[in-house]
Every structure is written in structure tokens, then in C-alpha cells.
């Protein structure tokens, strides 16, 4: 047997906990000792918790006072350096990322706990509900174009830099794909355009005198985990009724549309959206009218649970006007 000492491994659980308030998608964040926002995370206790899922729910309830409903595992994040300095020889932290949905807001959190923040604060280029964000044409595309022009032949990738820039950011006739959140973030990281790349010692970032202000950076690799969660949720909308985990039990069709738009970052045509909802038969009227809309009373609806037995992939395959 080899006498080489193996680096010990610790397992952490990181939660991207999403809520909706008004027209804003929110993510639960905790402030670290370095002042940076991060996703809530805690260790997995194999003696106290039989499964990762149970462990995640337990410490989120203990630390934030939240009882999670919908939870799904995203990915295992284990890159060396994600929680350690280059010279650190301590245990390597491997984190299992989770997507969780809640209807809670700040007022329901435990005292001194984490707080919700708009997720577009960390990914401002992803919000296209009004129009393509100015940050793309002003800061992102010029920097990525310059970086792509410096490329030397690379046979390890199927697509050269310039094609990835075009496809991921919807340039020159390519369609914007709202599910490519992680691809876009990792392209910015590879090009050294986000603070996390500088912090991790990426040569492309260290070679730059200044970095453009591309969203708020997060602790460790938490922005990458959040990008993974947003991409998963945007995709999930189309084949699972997860949007109803974020809405109150009774809601108006306008509230439903605003929630779908907030998550997808896309503007939806009102009448087309309502025809889609009717065609998919995901909701049913309650027979009650809401007077809280600020205008004429609006009909209240609820999720029609029978749809789960009627077809295998009930969701909202929405199309935007742009």
C-alpha cells in the first residue's frame, strides 16, 4: 500500500433558496466574514442525518427559520480552491448544491438570519423583461470580442471563443436561450471578466488592469452555484409545475404571468400567455374575485393538481415576443 497521505474531504450542503416578491425573483443570501454575500451552507452530519436532503432541511430551518418545501439536488461542486487558499493543506470542501423554493419573505425569517436579495443583482445581464440590458452591449460584448480575438487554435473545445460568445449571448442572428445562465457566467469567468476569476488567480483576470462591474460577486464559487440553480429552474418551468411552489395557494393570472416572467427574465405577450395557460389546463378558477389588484376585481385561480396524473410533463412552454 502507498504511504501517501490523502487529503481529507468534508461535505457541505449549499442551498439556492428562491422566493418571489412582487415582480422580483429573490435568493436567500448570508453575509460572510469577508463581507461578501453567499448562499446559505452548512456541513453534512452523517451521524445526525440519514440523507443529504434531511440534513439540508434541518440546518436551513435551524439557521433561517425556514421550512423548505420543494427541494432538488443540483450538482456536486468540488473544484480545488473553492474554499481554500492555494497554500492551504487542510480538508478539501466538496459542496452538494441544492435548488429550493419557498413562499417565505424576510418577515418570516429567524432573527439575525440571512436575508433575501434580488437574483438579478448578481446576474444583471439575465433580465430581459423590458429590453436587452445595456450592460451587454456596453461592457460584456466589447470585452468578450477582444478576448475572443486573442484565441490561439484549441482542439480541446468543439466551438471557438467567438462562436461561444455568439451563441451564448444571442448575437448575429443567434437566439437568446434563457437556460444558458451557467454557460454565460462561465464564459465571463474564463475570459477573466468577473471578480471571482481574479480571486481564483485566473491568468485572464490577473492580466486585466480593471474589471467591468458585471454584477455583485459572491463568496467562494456561490455565483456559479446560483447560475446552475437559475438555469435549472428556468428549464424546469417548461416541463414541471414548479412555478406554483412560489405562488400563494390562490392567485390571479397576472400574478402567475409576472412570476413566470421574473424567473425566465423574458417579457411574455399577455393574451398568448393566457391561451397557453388555458391550453395546458394547469389552473382552475376558485369562483372568488380578488379586490387587491388596484383596479377592477380579478378572478382567483389555483393549481389543478389532477394534471399530475393526466400527463407526465405538465409545464408552461412559454414563448417571448423577443
Task: State whether residue 10 is helix, strand or coil.
Answer: strand
**CB distance 12 to 91 below 8 Å:** no
Q: For strand 71-77 and strand 92-101, is the pairing parallel, antiparallel, or unpaired?
A: antiparallel
Q: How far apart are CA 253 and CA 302, in angstroms?
A: 10
> H-type helices in the chain, by residue range?
52-64, 134-135, 141-149, 161-168, 181-190, 195-199, 203-206, 222-236, 253-264, 270-280, 307-310
Alpha carbon distance 186, 322 (integer Å)? 24
Contacts of 296 (CB under 8 A, 6+ apart): none
- The total of other beta-carbon atoms located within 10 Å of residue 288's CB is 11
CATH code reported for the domain at 7-120: 3.90.79.10
pLDDT digits (tens, 9 = 90+) for 278-319: 999 999 999 999 877 667 889 999 999 999 888 888 888 876
3-state secondary structure of 281: coil
The yes or no reply on domain 242-308 and CATH 3.40.50.720 is: no
Residue-level pLDDT at 4: 66
Quote the distance between the C-alpha of residue 202 and its chain's center. Answer: 23
Q: What's the grid cell of residue 231?
A: 438555469
Q: How many helices (H) and strands (E) does the chain have?
A: 11, 9
CA 17 – CA 141 distance, rounded (Å): 30
Per the confidence metrics, is the pTM higher than 0.75? yes
Q: Which residue do the cell numbers 405577450 mark?
A: 269
Domain 7-120 and domain 242-308 have a common topology: no
Q: What pLDDT is stored for residue 321 in this prediction? A: 45
Alpha carbons 60 and 159: distance in angstroms, whole number: 41
Cα distance between residue 281 and residue 297, in whole Å: 22
Distance CA 107, CA 129 (A): 27
pLDDT for position 235: 96
Give Cβ neighbours of residue 224 (< 8 Å, ≥ 6 apart): 77, 182, 185, 186, 189, 196
DSSP assignment of 183-195 equals HHHHHHHHTT-SH
Q: Do 6 and 89 touch, CB atoms closer than 8 A?
A: no
Domain boundaries of the chain, sorted by first residue: 7-120, 132-213, 242-308
Listed as ranges, residues in the chain with pLDDT below 70 are 1-5, 80-90, 106-113, 293-294, 319-322
| Dihedral sign (CA 21, 238, 282, 241) | negative
Amino acid at each position: 500500500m502507498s504511504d501517501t497521505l490523502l487529503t481529507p474531504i468534508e461535505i457541505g450542503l449549499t442551498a439556492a433558496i428562491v422566493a418571489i416578491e412582487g415582480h422580483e425573483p429573490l435568493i436567500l443570501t448570508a453575509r460572510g466574514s469577508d463581507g461578501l454575500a453567499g448562499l446559505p451552507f452548512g456541513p453534512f452530519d452523517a451521524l445526525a442525518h440519514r440523507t443529504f436532503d434531511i440534513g439540508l432541511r434541518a440546518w436551513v430551518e435551524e439557521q433561517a427559520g425556514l421550512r423548505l418545501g420543494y427541494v432538488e439536488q443540483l450538482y456536486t461542486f468540488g473544484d480545488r480552491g473553492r474554499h481554500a487558499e492555494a497554500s492551504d493543506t487542510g480538508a478539501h470542501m466538496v459542496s452538494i448544491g441544492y435548488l429550493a423554493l419557498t413562499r417565505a419573505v424576510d418577515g418570516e425569517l429567524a432573527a439575525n438570519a440571512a436575508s433575501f436579495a434580488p437574483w438579478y443583482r448578481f446576474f444583471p445581464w439575465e433580465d430581459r423583461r423590458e429590453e436587452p440590458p445595456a450592460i451587454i452591449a456596453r461592457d460584456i460584448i466589447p470585452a468578450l470580442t477582444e478576448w475572443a480575438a486573442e484565441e490561439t487554435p484549441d482542439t480541446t473545445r468543439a466551438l471557438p471563443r467567438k462562436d461561444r460568445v455568439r451563441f451564448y449571448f444571442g448575437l448575429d442572428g443567434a437566439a437568446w436561450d434563457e437556460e444558458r445562465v451557467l454557460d454565460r457566467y462561465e464564459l465571463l469567468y474564463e475570459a477573466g471578466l468577473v471578480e471571482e476569476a481574479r480571486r481564483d488567480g485566473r491568468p485572464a483576470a490577473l492580466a486585466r488592469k480593471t474589471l467591468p462591474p458585471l454584477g455583485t460577486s459572491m463568496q467562494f464559487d456561490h455565483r456559479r452555484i446560483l447560475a446552475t440553480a437559475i438555469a435549472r429552474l428556468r428549464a424546469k418551468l417548461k416541463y414541471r409545475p414548479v412555478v406554483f411552489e412560489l405562488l400563494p395557494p390562490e392567485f390571479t393570472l397576472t400574478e402567475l404571468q409576472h412570476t413566470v416572467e421574473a424567473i425566465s427574465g423574458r417579457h411574455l405577450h399577455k393574451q398568448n400567455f393566457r391561451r397557453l395557460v388555458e391550453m395546458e389546463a394547469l389552473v382552475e378558477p376558485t369562483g372568488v374575485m380578488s379586490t387587491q389588484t388596484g383596479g377592477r376585481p380579478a378572478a382567483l385561480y389555483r393549481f389543478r393538481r389532477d394534471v399530475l396524473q393526466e400527463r407526465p410533463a405538465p409545464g408552461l412552454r412559454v414563448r417571448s415576443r423577443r
